Amino acid sequence: MLKSLFSGVAGLQSHQIAMDVESNNIANVNTIGFKYSRANFSDLLAQTSQIATAPQGSLGGKNAVQVGLGTTVASITRIHTQGSIQNTDKNTDVAIQGDGFFVVSSDGGNTYKFTRSGDFKFDANGNFVDNNGFVTQGWLRDEATGLVDSTAPIQNIVIPPGLTTPASATKQVDLKANLNSGSIVTQLSPTYPIDTNGNVLDTDGNIIPPTAIPAAADLGVGFNADGRAFDLKTGQGLWASFQSTLTATGNTGTLGAGAGTINAGDITVNGVAMPAIILPGPTSDANVAAVVTTINSFTSQTGVVATPAAAGSGQFILRNDNGIGTTATSKNIVFVAGGTAAGAGLTSTTPTATAFEYRYDPNFSNNAAAGVSPKIFTNVNDLRAAMQAEVQAVSVGATVTVASDGKIIINNVNGANSLTTSVTGLSDLTTLENEFFAPNFQSLNGTLNTGIGNVRASQPINAAVHSSSLDVFDSLGSKHTVIMEFRKISQTASTGATWSFDITVPNPATIIGSTAPNLNALPNGTVTFDSSGAMTGVNPSFFDFVGNNGSVAPQTIDLNFGSFNAFDGLTSFDRPSATSGISQDGFPGGDLLGIRIDQTGTLVGSFSNGRSFGLGQLAMAKFVNNEGLSADGGNVYLQSANSGDAIIGTAATGGRGFMQSAALEASNVDLSRSLTQLIIIQRGFQANGKTITTSDQLLNTLINLKN
């Protein structure tokens, strides 16, 4: 009988503990990061009055006769289910979505505590603490590398108040752009100016030293004023003459005064056969007039104009202004007199060349001396020099230069003789006339007498260009604008294009390797592309910069134009030149304006210089058995023998959850479940109480039997 009393008491005690557990759950229904617990009952040892027996013969087996001795709370299990996430207005609040715990310490990291409560804040010393004043653990930014190393041991997260970041000098410039490979472009720049001695000039008219001369643009990739490419092919070019071809009086012989006939074909002018010519007589002047009239009727084919010489001389003069025809003979004068023409007193002439071929070849130039034909050119200086040789052969003192607007200038102000310029297209059986090249120079055509104002200019010769600029920073945080100017200088059908590039910084800064007087400019860099438009090379790939303002010098800046044989940087496609991305890694000093926390737990600082970078990162711990953690009050847990060691790492890795800033994890207590449990516990407690009162009544009856 007494056993029933003890069982009742055990039941009351167990349900009281369950009541305490559930009451604690309800009390923490609004505690941030709280995880509710559950009391687990277990029966106590049973008193065995008869053991179990096995079946024997015709008798069946019997079960053991046991009387239980009550119940006890075998364990209290903490349920680590996810609590709901509540958004807040505080950017240092952090919630964990998934498994894991924040790591905090009260003794500088000697011992660790763990919590799901992310109600963090900065104290007066910049410590990132929870409501207990425990300092959150994690990793801080390494000032040397500028990175947060999450493989290092964890430490106190401390962001000093009034944090400033020192200036960081630019180490690399990244550029992604397209340089137009097409035949029509909109971004043009005149070819470099060149004086009469072949010196390349800067924009101020100063001679650029030979070591710094910009790469001369191949005329094969030149453009006219409308942005149309010349697209010169090998052998194409133009005819140019700077004087009329003139036969001296008497070179063609002397006609007599008698009447007669010159048969058809007995006179040819520049390869064109003249028809039969009747010589009327009775004077040589009449016969000269008949021949002159016939020759002039074919001027449109030969380019030759005939005029009578002195009266009574029996002679005529032939003149060719080199504006008609396409062959070598038609550009000059070849007069052939045979048969009846020779019998009439006419003689063949030895042709004097005044018109010459100027032909393009991308791989060779002969800088043609006077009287040499064809003249081979590659770039604009080759063409200028070849023209100047002929101009000065006609008029000593005349000059040919390239102006700053890209025009070829013929200046006869100080020349000894008049110039008659004629430029026409060039074609033959193997060469098609270029549609745009010769027309670019036909504004040179005409007569240039000597004296002031006698100057003629071609249309501009342009190059395809593109420029990009950005600000870089030195070690003091001073800003310097770097300008990168690209210019197309050559192209082949099989190997793609080559562009030059110049790098310029503002004075008083200089670039090591530049040449006086332009010490702030580094010319003649090159970028090459293959036939698919992918970059295949760049030189130089860096430049050394000196700020001349007390900053660290020299400052090496790498040029990252992308990967070779890829399309992640500079490209050369047939589409407009444009910069799609340009950046650098330097910045000036700045003051900390605010901090936000991302999903990996990184504390990202925003500074007054416009930069943002990680100042630290919160550590997250994971355990094999979360239920084995020991509660230590204040919303923190301690590692126990049954929880396993803390596995510390970063959020969103290794099975750890991710972090959400400006949010808190609510308690996972379900109030409806807890209230239902209260009813169940209450009924269990009442029933056990009833057991005691009933046993008491039975004992009382037993005692009364004696009376």
pLDDT tens-place string over residues 297-323: 999 888 899 999 999 999 999 999 888
Q: Rounded to an integer, what distance in angstroms lies between the CA atom of residue 406 and that of residue 193?
A: 7
Residues 6+ apart with CB under 8 A from 511: 503, 505, 519, 520, 521, 522, 543, 544, 545, 546
HSE of 685 in the Cβ direction (CA atoms, 13 Å)? Answer: 14
Residues 6+ apart with CB under 8 A from 307: 292, 316, 317, 319
Q: Which two tokens stand for residue 669?
A: 């207590």
CA angle 597, 616, 105 (to 5 degrees): 95
Q: Which two tokens stand for residue 408?
A: 């070829």
Extract long-range pairs of 378-381: CB within 8 Å, 24+ residues apart: 378/216, 378/218, 378/219, 378/220, 379/216, 379/217, 379/218, 379/219, 380/191, 380/194, 380/216, 380/217, 380/219, 380/222, 380/408, 380/461, 381/194, 381/198, 381/200, 381/216
Please tell me the class of the 245-343 domain.
alpha beta
The amino acid at 370? A
Q: What is the predicted pLDDT for the residue at 469? A: 96
Per-residue pLDDT tens over the stretch 373-421: 889 999 899 999 999 999 999 999 999 999 999 999 999 999 999 999 9
Do residues 488 and 221 touch, judged by C-beta distance below 8 A?
yes
For residue 335, the cross-strand partners are 269
Mean pLDDT, residues 246-258 taken together? 90
How does residue 1 score in pLDDT terms, banded at 50, 70 and 90? low
Residues 6+ apart with CB under 8 A from 154: 103, 109, 137, 138, 139, 619, 648
Do residues 498 and 483 touch, judged by C-beta distance below 8 A?
no
Q: What is the predicted pLDDT for the residue at 566? A: 93
Q: What is the predicted pLDDT for the residue at 703? A: 84
The pLDDT of residue 700 is above 90: no
Q: Rounded to an integer, what distance in angstroms lies between the CA atom of residue 640 and that of residue 655?
A: 21
Backbone angles phi, psi at 315, to 5 degrees: -120, 160
- Tell the residue number behind the tokens 């058809």, with chain if given: 264
How does residue 362 score in pLDDT terms, banded at 50, 70 and 90? confident
How does residue 212 score in pLDDT terms, banded at 50, 70 and 90? low
Nearest C-alpha neighbor of 555 from the set 511, 602, 620? 511
How does residue 211 score in pLDDT terms, banded at 50, 70 and 90? low
Per-residue pLDDT tens over the stretch 596-639: 999 999 999 999 988 898 999 999 999 999 999 999 999 999 99
- pTM, to two decimals: 0.74
Start-end of CATH 3.30.70 domains in the chain: 245-343
Mean pLDDT, residues 187-208 taken together? 86
Mean pLDDT, residues 64-78 taken together? 87
Backbone angles phi, psi at 448, to 5 degrees: -120, 105
How does residue 347 score in pLDDT terms, banded at 50, 70 and 90? very high
How does residue 49 score in pLDDT terms, banded at 50, 70 and 90? confident
DSSP 30-68: T-TT---EEEEEEE--EEEEE--B--BTTBPPB--EEEE
Q: What is the predicted pLDDT for the residue at 52? A: 87
Per-residue pLDDT tens over the stretch 436-473: 999 999 999 999 998 877 899 999 999 999 999 999 99
Average pLDDT, the chain: 91
Q: What is the predicted pLDDT for the residue at 620? A: 97
87: left (phi over 0), alpha (psi -120 to 50) or beta: beta
Mean pLDDT, residues 670-696 taken together? 89
How does residue 492 score in pLDDT terms, banded at 50, 70 and 90? confident
Start-end of CATH 2.60.98.20 domains in the chain: 172-191+462-584
478: left (phi over 0), alpha (psi -120 to 50) or beta: beta
Backbone angles phi, psi at 549, to 5 degrees: -135, 20
For residue 660, the cross-strand partners are 95
Q: Rounded to an integer, what distance in angstroms lies between the CA atom of residue 26 and that of residue 20?
A: 10
Do residues 409 and 421 touch, judged by C-beta distance below 8 A?
no
The amino acid at 36? Y
Mean pLDDT, residues 81-95 taken together? 94
Least confident range from 45-59, 532-546, 568-582: namely 45-59
The pLDDT of residue 329 is above 90: no
DSSP 466-496: EEEEEEEE-TT--EEEEEEEEEEEEEETTTE
CA 180 to chain centre: 15
CATH homologous superfamily, domain 172-191+462-584: Flagellar hook protein FlgE (2.60.98.20)
Q: Rounded to an integer, what distance in angstroms lies between the CA atom of residue 536 and that of residue 492?
A: 14
Q: Which helix (H) or strand (E) holds 84?
A: none
Q: Rounded to an integer, what distance in angstroms lies between the CA atom of residue 462 and that of residue 228?
A: 10
The pLDDT of residue 8 is above 90: no
Mean pLDDT, residues 363-368 taken together? 72
Residue percentage of the chain with pLDDT more than 70 = 98
Mean pLDDT, residues 509-538 taken together? 90
Q: Rounded to an integer, what distance in angstroms lies between the CA atom of residue 87 and that of residue 664?
A: 7
Q: Rounded to an integer, what distance in angstroms lies between the CA atom of residue 703 and that of residue 698?
A: 9
Nearest C-alpha neighbor of 629 from the set 618, 641, 639? 639
Beta strands of 310-418 (E only): which ranges? 316-320, 335-337, 355-360, 375-377, 399-402, 408-411
